[in-house]
Amino acid sequence: MRAQIMEREQNQVSSEAWQLAESSFEIDQNAVRETLFALGNGYIGLRGTHEERFDGFEASSIEGTFINGFYESSPLRYPETAYGLAKEHQFMLNVPNAKCINFSIEGEEFDLFTGEIVSYERSLDFRTGVLIRKLEWKSPAGRRLSVTSRRLVPFRRKNIFAIEYEVKLLNCSGTITLASVLDDGAKEVEEEGKPRYGAAVASVGGVTFDLLGIEQMENFSALIHRTRNSRLVLVSAIENDLVSPSGNSVKKETISTDQRYGQIYRARLEENGSICLTKFGAYFTSRDYPESELIGLAKKALKEARQVGFDALCAEQKEFLSEFWHYADNEIRGDDALNQGVHFNQFHLLQSVGRDGHTSIAAKGLTGEGYGGHYFWDAETYALPFYLYTRPEIARRMLEYRYSILDKARTRAREMSHSKGALYAWRTIAGEECSAYFPGGTAQYHINADIAYAVKQYHEATLDEEFMTKYGAEIVLETARIWIGIGSYIPKKNNQFCINEVTGPDEYTAMVNNNFYTNAMAQMHLKFAADIAAKMKKSQPTEFERLKTAIGLTDDEPKEWVKAALAMYLPYDQELGIHPQDDTFLYKKVWNLAENPRKSHDLPLHYHYLVIYRHQVCKQADVVLADFLLGDHFSAEDKKRDYDYYEAITTHDSSLSHCTFSVMASEIGYYDKAYQYFMKTARGDLDNLHKNTSYGVHVASMAGTWMAVVCGFGGMRAYQGKLQFAPYLPEKWEQYAFRIYFQSKLVLIEVDKNEVRYRLLEGDALQFSHYGTPIQLTKAAPVHVAKAVANKKAVAR
Amino acid sequence: MRAQIMEREQNQVSSEAWQLAESSFEIDQNAVRETLFALGNGYIGLRGTHEERFDGFEASSIEGTFINGFYESSPLRYPETAYGLAKEHQFMLNVPNAKCINFSIEGEEFDLFTGEIVSYERSLDFRTGVLIRKLEWKSPAGRRLSVTSRRLVPFRRKNIFAIEYEVKLLNCSGTITLASVLDDGAKEVEEEGKPRYGAAVASVGGVTFDLLGIEQMENFSALIHRTRNSRLVLVSAIENDLVSPSGNSVKKETISTDQRYGQIYRARLEENGSICLTKFGAYFTSRDYPESELIGLAKKALKEARQVGFDALCAEQKEFLSEFWHYADNEIRGDDALNQGVHFNQFHLLQSVGRDGHTSIAAKGLTGEGYGGHYFWDAETYALPFYLYTRPEIARRMLEYRYSILDKARTRAREMSHSKGALYAWRTIAGEECSAYFPGGTAQYHINADIAYAVKQYHEATLDEEFMTKYGAEIVLETARIWIGIGSYIPKKNNQFCINEVTGPDEYTAMVNNNFYTNAMAQMHLKFAADIAAKMKKSQPTEFERLKTAIGLTDDEPKEWVKAALAMYLPYDQELGIHPQDDTFLYKKVWNLAENPRKSHDLPLHYHYLVIYRHQVCKQADVVLADFLLGDHFSAEDKKRDYDYYEAITTHDSSLSHCTFSVMASEIGYYDKAYQYFMKTARGDLDNLHKNTSYGVHVASMAGTWMAVVCGFGGMRAYQGKLQFAPYLPEKWEQYAFRIYFQSKLVLIEVDKNEVRYRLLEGDALQFSHYGTPIQLTKAAPVHVAKAVANKKAVAR
């Protein structure tokens, strides 16, 4: 802990619970802060770069503006090719920067690197969603002035963002020249061969955009680009609105040089006079609208925003967030820094997730280009539960995204020789498989079950039948068929249903038979699919017939699913009393983690895959994750033995690992471990624990914080639609609280040293269990239960 | 058979037993014939392209001149990279074509595509090694002339080749203009993405050579090139020698335009007058000599060749071949076409193999660029036995090549995290791992044992202690250490020694535990290494100490080898009575070969690897190969059951498969099958059975022919240095004969319908067994044994 606290102090980020603030401009920390101060609304993502030109050393700033789901593609080229390998890489693009504002006073350009920064503060409040920077600057010639800017990306207005930028002269008068532009520079993608970031980017390089057109009129400037390969059109636009300084006239000029497009304003300011620019930016793409309408839409959105005005946008934003926190707030008392981390992570989760039904959440959200902006299974397995139990309509949108690419998954299934069904890509933006290393990609068939599991959880938590009829059933049935395609009844396994040659969640083992996680999840999936089919047949015969016809489902198939599920082979080792990760895992040599600790961080950077695969060593939870997700299927004793066995050989090289181990440590009663693992997620990005936050936040880990609190300390589960809690208070805390929205009811759970309090904030009544005891909660009558102790031994929940 | 005979007829290749001949110029067959008529001496390889300009349609001719072991390299680029992946591709280069000769008579250029070919014949005699083409041509204007050319690549002169080219006017007189040049055109490598040929070539393209210099004087022209990446220097040179036509003077000009360098001769010829050019070509590279000496060496070699003269070179060649056939000749009576195939294959094996100690034999010899000209395990496991039992000095040279790259194998072992020992590259030219798909490449650790096995066989067949001391011991000991590095005593396997995460010979299964072939071969390897160490310690203590010091061998290591060998886990399935290919093989679904026969040819062209790996389906012999190579370790019953089990699920998509199955079918007594598999190898290239002979011959399959005859029909084995035979006569034959050179004795085995005759042609006495009966053969007393019948049931040998 000591080291972390010191690091926090060094970072000089104040730790008030609801905001992130810095009180000085630190060049060394700048790239990390750009990530932390990034704004986004699930569609547009702006890194927290300064508006002005930035002259820091290389890598001290990473400019970035991202549009969720907007991508370029490039062919994947293999030195040795084969049938069915992923054909194209897709990657999120860094689009034209619309934030740029620069000014000079009497020819002296404002620059954070010249003159003197007299005072500086920047803050982002998680309840207002507005990034505010206030600074006072003394120019080299001694002119003093203040610059105040506010920035927001409205959650309620998908395609725009806004900046208010005010300059005030403090000890001088003179002519100010202020430029507000759209910057089309630096749109080339660099070649990169690094294993970690943007895997599959090695083959990409050069120009990704072609400029199709420029439109400038009045205060409006727009660029129209088309991507080279994916053939998507993007309109980037700005509209400037200058409040003229009292009394003085403003000269305006349009610029369109050096790849910068916008306005230059010139005005004379007296001492204490000020000038204030409001700038609106907009992005529209042909993924959402017809090409011909994009410019018109941009104009309209900008005009509307201008009419509404910056302050009203702020009010909207606050209102939106107020509602969000009403449902989402997790609060920890007794540790402000942790409380800040929890809120920060929740805020970034909201900023990162697509809410339009054809985007989802990328590994680094909208804060960096890592992993190509791809959507992985993390979206459903790690991030989705947070939304599901706070703002379920977001979870629905994420699943609608999966529905939107279901046809691509069908195509992929055919490529993989499955005559029926759909196989989701391991990593993708638009649906095509983009994983260039199939043993760690396409082989992870479990993604199909992960998505089905998310649909099941969604359905149980929302009872949203309309979603199921329209989307959910088709997703689940189509993806379930793949298990029949890949699996088979193996005589030498007593004709149990086996799933061979797959990779489970743990990527330090690849291409194995009967990965426990995969088989257990497939079993759940097959049962669920058969259930859906049976229920739909009964309650919605017409819709079911339509679905059957659409996907060519025969009456025999649901029977096959049940049969396969019942016969599913789930590896179990009698001697050790654990679930082997797969058929051969226990027959490998144990990797000695203690022997080479330094090299053990991210093994594929130091060892050939064959060396890693040859050993019992795990990158992340695999069996332990199954024990969590399907916890009602396995005994407490098995889960504990699994935990003990696998924890000893897990490196946690994946940021998905800590939270799962934290949750299961809580369940088992390893409270210290639960807390230690939780601490690795809660301030992971705030304290730059992975040393790479400058490249973007770690979304899955952020969601893991919520999971560790709610499912871990709170012991929340929702097996088969039944809500249950088993909360305890971590030793170091005074109190904590969290909220769960379930079947249209909102419950607040508060845990302190004396008791657990359940209060129903919305809905009439809610049934759940507390440590196995059924509770009927009504709005009128909160329930107080004494006393959940942190240090008791493992409790049967 | 009928179909094949028809195909032969279509091919119009005459089937005399000792030569290959064609009696017409067939454009459709031209590219295939270029392969069949290719000449080589194990260093220089010339495809059988015509000397003149060739105007056929695309792909009707594939120009090719190759130098064994001379290569360019290019970085291997992966769309998703990781530690330890092969870094560079190496590929055999198509070097400047020195064969080019063109002429015109009175301005009419001789061209096979204009005028009329009045008569045409081309032949290659396997006893003379000279390619002869005779044709008569009528020009468009009606001039008749004959062209006679002879070509050879001397086996005794590594760096040169020679052509004799005579033109005679038959019905006219006039001025002949004859150009003999070195052609530097078309040295760019095309980009190619095809899975089969030149796998790993996808990333290569563009210029591979830089021209450093040109030297021309008198009749000599030379080009000096350096490869872009591998930085190897090549000198290509020609020397022309024109016999002036009687009476008339010859005008000579030097040309150096259009990337063509050489001489143009102009002379007046009377009717029936002729002109005769002798051309010598030479190639020297910096892999063999210092750069500065290359030009001088080329001059010297060409001068010597010219002094010796074409006819004397032919005489040398004949003498060399006469000796070769004395030791190598396999003869079949009763089927000339087959007999031709057998000789053709032996001849090409001789032409293809490097004999200089730093080259070996590539998958397509020196006849095509397929597989990048890489050396694989085929060299030792398939090709080497042919040389070993006919011309063992060639086998020694191949093993010396392995010694020459032992340091590279040590480096590779370190990259693969083995602190000791050497791991040979799966495919390479200069020693570096060039396999870009590690599950089918680097994972094939068995290559280490394959090479050790070859050393063992070599030692037993030659008793060459000097080789062992100098090279063999170090190879075997260093490679043996890898088994200790990769393997481990697995508690759950009763602490047996297991080798996990490898790929066996069958590439339709990858990255498995305890591949039977690998474990069995590793066991042999470890024992052999310990034996060598023990013997050397005793008989050559000084040399042994020197070796120990050189490789840092401790006294404990040989003990560890013995321990591991004794504890080696060899999978055996009690129920089926077979050796499972690996730990999980029998737990996979059986691929239904009958279901999709067309798609079953080369599965990775039609199915994703994951689909293939998920099934019980074999590309080639794996367990069955172990049963052959280590046949004295397993019972006849097990071998038969293994054969039955695996044959049913083998596609034979590898050209290495048929011969192994043929040999084992013979051993088991499946005589019809033995013959059928043999027939797929014997005329494979002559009849273009794989439809891709135009890209080069199939070296392993050619060696397989020898193996099927000698080890199959002849039942020859040399387990633990003991020679044994168990010959039978295939039903369709009158008689066959083969020769075995063993421990400096040459034995001729003749098998006919009545008896088997053993005659000792060299050496005093030889002990061996005939169907288990010991025989002591002396030169004076041939042994006749009656009667080996083809159709008897399985015989215990």
Cβ–Cβ < 8 Å for B76, A79: yes
Q: Which of A438, A498, A605 sits opposite B83 (nearest CB)?
A: A605
Query: Rounded to a whole number, what is the distance in Å from the CA of B38 to chain A's nearest CA?
Result: 28
Read off the pLDDT of residues B250-305 as tens digits, 9 standing for 90 and up: 899 999 988 899 999 999 999 999 999 999 999 999 999 999 999 999 999 999 99
Q: Which of B81, B83, B614 sits opposite A606 (nearest CB)?
A: B83
Give the full edge-to-edge strand order of the sheet including A745-752.
A331-333, A735-742, A745-752, A755-762, A783-786
User: Measured between alpha carbons, how far apart are the two ends of chain A, in Å?
Assistant: 30
Is the pLDDT score of A443 beyond 90? yes
**Average pLDDT in the B526-555 region?**
98
Q: Do A80 and B199 touch (CB under 8 A)?
A: yes
How large is the angle between the packed helices A671-682 and A699-707, nearest 10 degrees?
Answer: 140
Return the residue of B nearest to A85 by Cα.
Answer: B608
**Average pLDDT in the A765-776 region?**
95
Q: Do B587 and A78 touch (CB under 8 A)?
A: no
CA–CA dist B425, B414 (Å, integer) = 12
Q: Do B78 and A80 touch (CB under 8 A)?
A: no
Is the pLDDT score of A539 beyond 60? yes
**Average pLDDT in the A91-113 region?**
95
**Residue numbers in B near A493 (CB within 8 A):** 587
CA–CA dist A781, B73 (Å, integer) = 78
**Average pLDDT in the B680-699 region?**
92
**Residue B605 CB partners (closer than 8 Å, separation 6+):** A83, B195, B196
Read off the pLDDT of residues A734-755 as tens digits, 9 standing for 90 and up: 999 999 999 999 999 999 999 9
Is the pLDDT score of B71 beyond 60? yes
Q: What is the pLDDT of residue A9?
A: 41
Q: What is the pLDDT of residue A596?
A: 64
B789 touches chain A (CB under 8 A): no
Among residues A436, A555, A126, the alpha carbon closest in space to that of B82 is found at A436
CA–CA dist A469, A479 (Å, integer) = 16
A511 touches chain B (CB under 8 A): yes
**Residue A414 CB partners (closer than 8 Å, separation 6+):** none
- Residue B466 is a catalytic residue: no
Q: Which residues of chain B from 576 to 605 reach within 8 Å of chain A, CB to CB? A: 583-584, 586-589, 604-605
Q: Which residues of chain A from 384 to 413 reach within 8 Å of chain B, CB to CB? A: none
CA–CA dist A189, A94 (Å, integer) = 9
**Residue A575 CB partners (closer than 8 Å, separation 6+):** none
Mean pLDDT of chain A: 92
pTM score, whole prediction: 0.93
Q: What is the pLDDT of residue A600?
A: 53
Query: Rounded to a whole number, what is the distance in Å from the CA of A498 to chain B's nearest CA?
Result: 8
Give the full edge-to-edge strand order of the sheet including B331-333.
B331-333, B735-742, B745-752, B755-762, B783-786
Q: Residue A282 has which token pair?
A: 């907009």
**Average pLDDT in the A66-80 region?**
94
Q: What percent of chain A has pLDDT over 70?
A: 93
Read off the pLDDT of residues B72-126 as tens digits, 9 standing for 90 and up: 999 999 998 899 999 999 999 999 999 999 999 999 999 999 999 999 999 999 9
The residues that bridge with B283 in the sheet, in sequence order, are B236
Q: What is the pLDDT of residue A787?
A: 65
DSSP B717: B
Cβ–Cβ < 8 Å for A91, A111: no
Is the pLDDT score of B793 beyond 50? no
- Max intra-chain CA distance, chain B: 91
**Residue A133 CB partners (closer than 8 Å, separation 6+):** A50, A120, A121, A122, A147, A148, A149
Q: What is the pLDDT of residue A599?
A: 56
Q: Which residues of chain A from 466 to 495 reach within 8 Å of chain B, CB to CB? A: 486, 488, 490, 492-493
Query: Rounded to a whole number, what is the distance in Å from the CA of B6 to chain A's nearest CA?
Result: 34
Read off the pLDDT of residues A450-503 as tens digits, 9 standing for 90 and up: 999 999 999 999 999 999 999 999 999 999 999 999 999 999 999 999 999 999
**Residue numbers in B near A606 (CB within 8 A):** 83
- Helix and strand tally (H, E) in chain B? 21, 33
* Catalytic positions of A, written as ranges: 507
Task: With cut-offs at 50, 70 and 90, classify the pLDDT of residue A370.
Answer: confident
Read off the pLDDT of residues B644-679 as tens digits, 9 standing for 90 and up: 999 999 999 998 999 999 999 999 999 999 999 999
Comparing A184-198, A357-371, A382-396, which segment has the lowest mean pLDDT? A184-198
Q: What is the pLDDT of residue A247?
A: 65
Q: Do A583 and B584 touch (CB under 8 A)?
A: yes
Query: Rounded to a whole number, what is the distance in Å from the CA of B84 to chain A's nearest CA?
Result: 5
**Residue numbers in B near A586 (CB within 8 A):** 492
Task: With cut-offs at 50, 70 and 90, classify the pLDDT of residue B794.
Answer: very low
Read off the pLDDT of residues A146-169 as tens digits, 9 standing for 90 and up: 999 999 999 999 999 999 999 999
Q: Do A511 and B613 touch (CB under 8 A)?
A: yes
**Residue A303 CB partners (closer than 8 Å, separation 6+):** A239
Map tokens 């107020």 to a residue.
A322
Q: Residue B601 has which token pair?
A: 């040819």
Is the pLDDT score of B796 beyond 50? no
**Average pLDDT in the A369-398 region?**
96
Cβ–Cβ < 8 Å for A220, A238: yes
CA–CA dist B675, B262 (Å, integer) = 52
